Chains A and B, each alone.
Chain A
């Protein structure tokens, strides 16, 4: 069963992400993806995450697809104008890529080419509108397409947004423009997430809670300070700080989070950020 079928059938789904390398050596990344085969319903491929230049998402999605793994093509608005975005979406369609995740994208100054011209011709909502139009057989300007793509389209939401209500309004807009599922920013605070899920319940849309693997107490503190909407509670930071085996503790924390979140939403989305190979261990520990 594919990702779309599982999600629409109401199954609890698991996605994980891989980040393409900076360069052309893809063997390690593909080995990481291999470890996830059969364990996750789809693999997100990030689009120059954190505004760092690397191998593109489209090519990696194609490599996964060739190997029989269902990719989720992440598309951001930071680096391409509406022509290039539409062209890449059509390219993805002809390569057999079915899942698209539309995002606005991090700002260019946060990455390793801060001198770059940030494009943002479209934003996440207008990009979703464009995907909808392409599927309807026209381009953004209304010109007829010779063959229309077919996608399963998702978007993101930050449950820790300030204020969350503004994020929920935006979620509604994203749904209106065709988003059929949502993946979230990293969640560590289960009661806060439960409150968020109560608020979005009327939208009746599948939400996959984001899990970022904690690598150290320092990383947790860094995220609390610098990543908007991410809040790692102090007891978790302390556990990481005192851990004899950081990997083991990190896996335990992630597995416990998954267990706690399981009843609240329709899936989880793992963001291992370099610890891709630990994902199967997390899933083992969480018994899914």
Chain B
């Protein structure tokens, strides 16, 4: 899931400067789950824009805005409203914004920031649990990810900044991930795992396969 967060309204209005008529798009996938671009947020955005003197020519909440063909067909059904607009405002992740921008010839604005792939997958909602690092270390950490549970993403144990309450010195609301790891390993009788020295992480594994960034795919998608 792509977790998104709505941009401050001031930033959105600034990006719409000089454009009085706007068509608004939302998504029933991740953006709805993030509470940033589902039907209620689209209606709310419509009202906010109108309050700020804009005309909303129409809106559409598509099942999956990242599905380019679907976006194209939905926009075709709203051709008149889209045509009447100066620009489009999209309340989704960056993929949705790019899908919309690809299938229409008008200026397309993002209304959200995509903040994380979040590891907020499947049915276990709540916290970020996986950073898709491509080099899983859960074996040596009792099944708790130090990348997401430690502010500094340390691999070799707590930094000394664990408070007496067991929180992180960087964020008093956040449990110290390394304390949790220590406690879990202690319970498992596997504190020896903590003696594993992790050399620096291979960050090249964090990058998506190069093929995903090849613009040749974009060219093929044209037309």
Q: Which residues of A are in contact with B by a Cβ distance under 8 Å?
A: 82, 104, 107, 109-110, 118, 120-126, 129-130, 140, 156-158, 161-163, 165-167, 169-170, 172-173, 176-177, 185, 226-229
Contacts and interface: CB of A to CB of B under 8 A. Distances in A.
A228 B160 contact: yes
B191 A169 contact: yes
B194 A169 contact: yes
Given A129-B199, A169-B194, A123 B156 contact: yes
Nearest to B181: A166
B167 to A, nearest CB: 9
A163 B166 CA distance: 9
Interface residues of B, number: 30
Contacts of A129: 197, 199
B195 interface: yes
Interface string B156-177: 1111111110100110000010
Contact of B156 (A130, A163, A170): A170
Nearest to B162: A162
A167 B160 contact: yes
Interface stretch (B18-26, B28-36, B103-111, B146-154): B146-154
Contacts of B194: 166, 169-170, 173
22 contacts: A104-B152, A104-B154, A110-B169, A118-B152, A121-B200, A121-B203, A123-B154, A123-B155, A123-B156, A125-B157, A126-B156, A126-B199, A140-B199, A156-B160, A162-B163, A162-B164, A162-B166, A163-B182, A167-B158, A170-B157, A170-B158, A228-B161
Contact of B157 (A130, A140, A169): A169
B59 interface: no
Given A107-B151, A157-B160, A161-B162, A177 B197 contact: yes
Given A169-B191, A227-B169, A229-B161, 5 more contacts: A82-B200, A126-B155, A140-B199, A166-B194, A167-B158
B179 interface: yes
A173 B197 contact: yes
B152 A120 contact: yes
A166 B152 CA distance: 17
A158 B160 contact: yes
Interface string B47-89: 0000000000000000000000000000000000000000000
Given A107-B170, A129-B197, A124 B156 contact: yes
A120 B191 CA distance: 24
Contact of B195 (A118, A162, A169, A227): A169
Nearest to A133: B199
Contacts of A130: 200
Interface of B: 151-164, 166, 169-170, 176, 178-179, 182, 191, 194-195, 197-201, 203
Nearest to A156: B160
B164 A104 contact: no
Nearest to A121: B200
Contacts of A118: 152
A62 B154 CA distance: 30
B154 A166 contact: no
A172 B159 CA distance: 14
Contacts of A110: 169-170
A123 B161 CA distance: 14
Contacts of B153: 120
Contact of B179 (A166, A176, A227): A166
Contacts of B179: 162-163, 166
B160 A125 contact: no
Contact of B152 (A123, A161, A229): A123
Contact of A166 (B164, B178, B197): B178
Contact of B162 (A82, A109, A226, A228): A228
Nearest to A161: B160
Contact of B163 (A165, A176, A228): A228
A226 to B, nearest CB: 8
A261 B129 CA distance: 43
Contacts of B157: 125, 166, 169-170, 173
8 nearest A-B residue pairs (beta carbon): A158-B160, A125-B156, A170-B157, A162-B162, A107-B170, A228-B161, A122-B200, A228-B169
A178 to B, nearest CB: 11
A227 B170 CA distance: 10
A228 B161 CA distance: 5
A227 B169 CA distance: 7
Given A126-B155, A161-B158, A109 B200 contact: no
